[in-house]
């Protein structure tokens, strides 16, 4: 803060101006000769200030009421402070005002004393009474003079008047005609040409027959007694003239009367001015007080608001903080305790915001780590499951879904056993986990076979407890699909066996056969009868058996021989139809039903090998001991989901199904449960499938067995 705010400076300036104007006002009241008309202007200006202040106060009050109604922060505190300030300012002001008024009234009144007033009035009355006697004397003298004038004509009047003036001692005698015209005049004062005329009302009184006598203050000449009497003329009483006489009062009496008059007049004037004096003092005092009080009230608004502002800002800041707006900063509020409070609030708010930012940052970090981990898990070929401490599924990766062939997302947040109810194939896996969980050991490893929708799979599972207590704990299970690995190992072993067997067995077979034929040829002619027949039979048996062995070895060698595929575009449905037709006529006791997908894509394959595959599969199905009418369903469909674009061929029979122990080795040579057959059928099927980069699986279904062959399409499936 750089000193006082501008508003405060303005107010201080205003108050100085106001005090100046009030001072001038009181000075004008005291001494109006110096300030003269300024008083009126000051009065007006102060009146205007009064009204403006009232307007400002009303405006402020309205604002306060409005903010009270709107329940704005700090409005109630402002009201209380306001009320306090106003009471503090107004009450003492009013008390002082009351006392001042009383002192003023009493003080001014005390200058005037009833006794003094009465004394002055008595003095005046005394003076008048003393002059009254003299006035009557003068009137008498004038009446006598008037009688002397009765016989005097108008022409003689000036001379007679001069004599009469000297006799009566008047300073001026004037004879006035009936019509008010001056007939003659005689004056002691030779300077003045014109006689002092009486006023019309006095003449009127004389004409009505009443004489007049009275005092007349004549400027520069002192107090005079003016007396007027009727003066009948020589023409008779009808033509009445008027004689006026002005008599000087003796100088001594004149001075005294003048002093009494002056004192009385001044006292009367002062007494009269007492009212205006009080009025102007009261007016000034009231105005000063009112302006000061209103200024104080107006300033009280300002002060209250200024005091409350930091508090209400604090309240609003706290409210904002409560609403989650951390980091709210309030403007500084001086160096007092409120300022300290505001600074503390700002510090606190800043720190809270910092902590929130840090928390947000670490959350982002955790989330990015989590995303990183999920990406890593997603790219893993091993399946990963994370279970909560209560055995519920928390996290898994895509590989886990692929390997288990179970939609794990449906079981998130539930125990794995919940999924088992809908996917029974899944149960061995769950049992394995449960078993280890109940043992509560740290880490475990296990192998298990799982009969999935995609075929039987061999899995290697390992589990470990996750660190942390409560929410953080749980178990992680990692498992790998080792089916193809095991299969490949077995295939390799069998390939080697077949190659060797073919090599080692085929070589001696031809000499054996040739030897048997030669024996027949050479010896048979020499023998007769039964011996010849025996030989015949024996050699034939040898030759046949050798032939059979040759075929067997041939088959073996074919099994072991690397594929030479002649790939071309194949309509798989047509091929299936063609092969099935062959069997329809042949196997009367079997019914073969086909369920072929119209939308099947073309395959890039060797049709000869595929035909062999189909033959082997159908034969295998026909050979299943159904115990009654053999029913075979051959279906093709376009694959969807992960393997979209491929072709799946299912062959289902209604036989007894595969023995459980055999399922793992079903596609190995010489594994057969059937009374007939070479034991190579399914091995060859598997080999053909693998030559076409496909996969085969077998599983038992309700009321039989199902073999599923999945073949990929060529370039783009069409």
Minimum CB distance to other proteins smaller for 7 or for 541 = 7
* Shortest CB 280 distance to other proteins, Å: 4
* 109 scored as a contact of other proteins (CB under 8 A): no
Query: From the list 8, 203, 277, 519, which residue makes contact with other proteins (rule: CB under 8 A)?
Result: 277
Minimum CB distance to other proteins smaller for 91 or for 270 = 270
Report the alpha-carbon distance of residue 190 to residue 209 in Å, rounded: 32
* 372 scored as a contact of other proteins (CB under 8 A): no
Query: From the list 273, 359, 485, 523, which residue makes contact with other proteins (rule: CB under 8 A)?
Result: 273
What phi-psi label fits residue 180: left (phi over 0), alpha (psi between -120 and 50 degrees) or beta?
left
Contact pattern from residue 53 through residue 82 relative to other proteins, giving x for each residue in contact according to CB under 8 A and a dash for the rest: --xx--x-----------------------
Q: In this chain, which stretch among 52-60, 423-431, 598-606, 680-688 interacts with other proteins, using CB under 8 A?
A: 52-60
Report the alpha-carbon distance of residue 217 to residue 569 in Å, rounded: 157
Minimum CB distance to other proteins smaller for 284 or for 483 = 284
Nearest to 316 by CA among 74, 64, 68: 74
* Shortest CB 181 distance to other proteins, Å: 18
Minimum CB distance to other proteins smaller for 281 or for 583 = 281
* Shortest CB 358 distance to other proteins, Å: 53
Nearest to 609 by CA among 692, 707, 708, 698: 692
User: Could you tell me if 663 and 655 are in contact, meaning their C-beta atoms sit under 8 angstroms apart?
Assistant: no
* 128 scored as a contact of other proteins (CB under 8 A): yes
User: Could you tell me if 590 and 623 are in contact, meaning their C-beta atoms sit under 8 angstroms apart?
Assistant: no
* Shortest CB 13 distance to other proteins, Å: 19
Report the DSSP beta bridge partners of residue 150.
none
Query: From the list 109, 163, 266, 357, which residue makes contact with other proteins (rule: CB under 8 A)?
Result: 266
Nearest to 226 by CA among 207, 211, 246: 246
In sequence order, what DSSP letters do the residues of 557-574 get, joined into one string?
Answer: HHHHSPP----EEE-HHH
Minimum CB distance to other proteins smaller for 79 or for 277 = 277
Sequence-distant (6+) residues with CB within 8 A of 297 are 53, 57, 85, 86, 89, 90
* Shortest CB 198 distance to other proteins, Å: 10
* 280 scored as a contact of other proteins (CB under 8 A): yes
DSSP H or E run through 142:
helix 114-148
In sequence order, what DSSP letters do the residues of 458-512 get, joined into one string?
Answer: EEEEEEEEPSSSGGG--EEEEEEE-HHHHHHHHHHHHHHHHHHHHHHHHHHHHHH
Sequence-distant (6+) residues with CB within 8 A of 591 are 629, 630, 631, 632
* 452 scored as a contact of other proteins (CB under 8 A): no
Query: From the list 48, 94, 485, 548, which residue makes contact with other proteins (rule: CB under 8 A)?
Result: 48
Sequence-distant (6+) residues with CB within 8 A of 687 are 559, 563
Query: From the list 16, 20, 51, 492, which residue makes contact with other proteins (rule: CB under 8 A)?
Result: 51
Contact pattern from residue 152 through residue 171 relative to other proteins, giving x for each residue in contact according to CB under 8 A and a dash for the rest: --------------------
Contacts to other proteins from residues 198-217, by CB under 8 A: 199-202, 214-217
Query: From the list 132, 255, 269, 441, which residue makes contact with other proteins (rule: CB under 8 A)?
Result: 269
* 47 scored as a contact of other proteins (CB under 8 A): yes
Report the alpha-carbon distance of residue 225 to residue 245 in Å, rounded: 8
How many residues touch other proteins (CB under 8 A)? 51
Query: From the list 133, 220, 599, 716, which residue makes contact with other proteins (rule: CB under 8 A)?
Result: 220
Contact pattern from residue 221 through residue 260 relative to other proteins, giving x for each residue in contact according to CB under 8 A and a dash for the rest: --x---------------------------------x--x
Sequence-distant (6+) residues with CB within 8 A of 395 are 377, 384, 385, 386
Going 586 to 588 to 591 to 593, the CA torsion angle's sign is positive
DSSP one-letter code for 423: -
Query: From the list 92, 98, 107, 276, which residue makes contact with other proteins (rule: CB under 8 A)?
Result: 276
Query: From the list 15, 32, 130, 154, which residue makes contact with other proteins (rule: CB under 8 A)?
Result: 32
Q: In this chain, which stretch among 47-55, 450-458, 658-666, 693-701 interacts with other proteins, using CB under 8 A?
A: 47-55
* 36 scored as a contact of other proteins (CB under 8 A): yes
Minimum CB distance to other proteins smaller for 47 or for 703 = 47
* 334 scored as a contact of other proteins (CB under 8 A): no
CA dist 666 to 54, 347, 509, 672, 683, Å?
Answer: 109, 77, 30, 8, 8
Report the alpha-carbon distance of residue 456 to residue 665 in Å, rounded: 11
Going 574 to 575 to 579 to 580, the CA torsion angle's sign is negative
Q: In this chain, which stretch among 33-41, 490-498, 588-596, 641-649 interacts with other proteins, using CB under 8 A?
A: 33-41
CB neighbours of residue 147 within 10 Å: 13
* 376 scored as a contact of other proteins (CB under 8 A): no
Minimum CB distance to other proteins smaller for 265 or for 665 = 265
Going 499 to 500 to 503 to 505, the CA torsion angle's sign is negative
DSSP H or E run through 216:
strand 212-218
* 107 scored as a contact of other proteins (CB under 8 A): no
Q: In this chain, which stretch among 29-37, 81-89, 96-104, 643-651 interacts with other proteins, using CB under 8 A?
A: 29-37
Minimum CB distance to other proteins smaller for 285 or for 546 = 285
* Shortest CB 316 distance to other proteins, Å: 29
Longest CA pairwise span in the chain (Å): 242
> Residue 24 in 3-state DSSP?
helix
* 272 scored as a contact of other proteins (CB under 8 A): yes
Query: From the list 2, 3, 33, 585, which residue makes contact with other proteins (rule: CB under 8 A)?
Result: 33
Q: In this chain, which stretch among 26-34, 82-90, 147-155, 375-383 interacts with other proteins, using CB under 8 A?
A: 26-34
Report the alpha-carbon distance of residue 621 to residue 609 in Å, rounded: 18
Sequence-distant (6+) residues with CB within 8 A of 163 are none
Sequence-distant (6+) residues with CB within 8 A of 709 are 613, 617, 648, 649, 650, 651, 685, 689, 694, 695, 696
* Shortest CB 48 distance to other proteins, Å: 6
Residues found near other proteins in the complex (CB under 8 A): 28-29, 31-33, 36-37, 39-40, 43-44, 47-48, 51-52, 55-56, 59, 124, 127-128, 131, 199-202, 214-220, 223, 257, 260-261, 264-269, 271-273, 276-277, 279-280, 283
């Amino acid at each position: 803060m750089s000193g006082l705010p501008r508003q405060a400076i303005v107010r201080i300036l205003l108050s100085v101006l106001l005090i100046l104007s009030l001072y001038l006002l009181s000075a004008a009241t005291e001494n109006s000769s110096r300030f003269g008309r300024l008083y009126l202007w000051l009065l007006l200006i102060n009146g205007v200030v009064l009204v403006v202040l009232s307007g400002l106060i009303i405006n402020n009050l309205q604002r306060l009421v409005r903010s009270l109604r709107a329940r704005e922060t700090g409005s109630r505190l402002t009201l209380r402070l306001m009320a306090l300030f106003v009471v503090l300012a107004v009450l003492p002001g009013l008390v002082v005002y009351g006392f001042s008024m009383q002192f003023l009234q009493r003080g001014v009144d005390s200058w005037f004393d009833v006794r003094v007033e009465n004394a002055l009035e008595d003095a005046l009355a005394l003076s008048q009474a003393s002059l009254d006697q003299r006035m009557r004397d003068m009137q008498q003298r004038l009446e006598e003079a008037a009688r002397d004038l009765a016989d005097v004509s108008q022409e003689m009047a000036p001379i007679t008047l001069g004599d009469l003036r000297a006799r009566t001692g008047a300073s001026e005698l004037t004879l006035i005609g009936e019509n008010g015209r001056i007939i003659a005049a005689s004056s002691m004062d030779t300077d003045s040409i014109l006689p002092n005329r009486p006023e019309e009302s006095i003449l009127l009184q004389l004409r009505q027959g009443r004489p007049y006598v009275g005092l007349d203050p004549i400027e520069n000449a002192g107090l005079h007694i003016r007396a007027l009497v009727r003066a009948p003329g020589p023409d008779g009483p009808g033509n009445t003239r008027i004689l006026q006489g002005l008599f000087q009062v003796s100088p001594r009496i004149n001075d005294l009367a003048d002093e009494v008059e002056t004192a009385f007049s001044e006292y009367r004037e002062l007494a009269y001015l007492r009212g205006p004096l009080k009025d102007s003092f009261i007016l000034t005092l009231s105005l000063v007080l009112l302006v000061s009080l209103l200024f104080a009230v107006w300033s009280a608004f300002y002060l209250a608001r200024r005091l409350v502002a930091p508090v209400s800002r604090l309240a609003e800041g706290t409210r904002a903080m409560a609403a989650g707006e951390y980091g709210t900063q309030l403007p500084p509020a001086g160096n007092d305790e409120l300022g300290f409070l505001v600074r503390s609030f700002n510090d606190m708010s800043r720190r809270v915001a910092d902590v929130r930012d840090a928390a947000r940052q670490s959350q982002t970090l955790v989330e990015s780590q989590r995303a990183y981990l999920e990406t890593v898990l997603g790219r893993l070929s091993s399946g990963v499951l994370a279970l909560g401490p209560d055995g519920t599924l928390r996290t898994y990766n895509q590989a886990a879904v692929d390997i288990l062939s179970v939609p794990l997302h449906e079981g998130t947040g539930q125990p794995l056993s919940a999924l088992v109810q809908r996917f029974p194939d899944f149960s061995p896996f769950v049992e394995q986990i449960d078993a280890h969980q109940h043992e509560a050991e740290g880490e475990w490893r296990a192998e298990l076979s799982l009969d999935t929708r995609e075929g039987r799979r061999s899995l290697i599972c390992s589990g470990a407890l996750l660190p942390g207590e409560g929410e953080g704990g749980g178990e992680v299970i990692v498992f790998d699909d080792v089916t193809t690995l095991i299969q490949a190992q077995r295939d390799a072993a069998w390939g080697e066996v077949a190659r060797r067997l073919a090599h080692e067995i085929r070589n001696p077979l031809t000499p054996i056969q040739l030897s048997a034929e030669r024996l027949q040829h050479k010896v048979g002619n020499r023998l007769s009868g039964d011996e010849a027949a025996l030989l015949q039979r024996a050699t034939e048996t040898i030759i046949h058996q050798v032939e059979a062995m040759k075929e067997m070895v041939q088959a073996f060698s074919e099994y072991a021989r690397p594929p030479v595929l002649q790939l071309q575009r194949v309509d798989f449905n047509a091929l299936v139809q063609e092969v099935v037709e062959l069997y329809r006529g042949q196997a009367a006791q079997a019914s073969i039903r086909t369920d072929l997908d119209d939308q099947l894509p073309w395959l890039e394959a060797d049709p000869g090998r595929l035909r062999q595959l189909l033959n082997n599969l159908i034969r295998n199905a026909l050979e299943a001991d159904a115990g009654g009418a053999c029913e075979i369903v051959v279906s093709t469909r376009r694959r969807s989901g992960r393997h979209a674009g491929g072709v799946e061929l299912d062959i289902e029979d209604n036989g007894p199904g595969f023995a459980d122990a055999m399922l793992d080795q079903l596609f190995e040579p010489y594994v057969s449960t059937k009374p007939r057959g070479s034991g190579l059928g399914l091995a060859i099927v598997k080999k053909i499938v693998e030559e076409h980069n496909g996969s085969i699986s077998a599983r038992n279904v309700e009321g039989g067995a199902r073999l599923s062959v999945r073949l990929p399409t060529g370039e783009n499936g069409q």
